[in-house]
Amino acid sequence: MKVRTQTTYFGRVQGVGFRWRVCQAVKPFKVTGYVLNKSDGSVETLLEGEAEVVKGALALLESQLKEFWRSKKTDQREGEAHFDDFSIKR
Q: Which residues are catalytic?
A: 19, 37
Write out the chain in H/E/C secondary structure. Answer: CEEEEEEEEEECCCCCCHHHHHHHHHCCCCCEEEEEECCCCCEEEEEEEEHHHHHHHHHHHHHHCCCCEEEEEEEEEECCCCCCCEEEEC
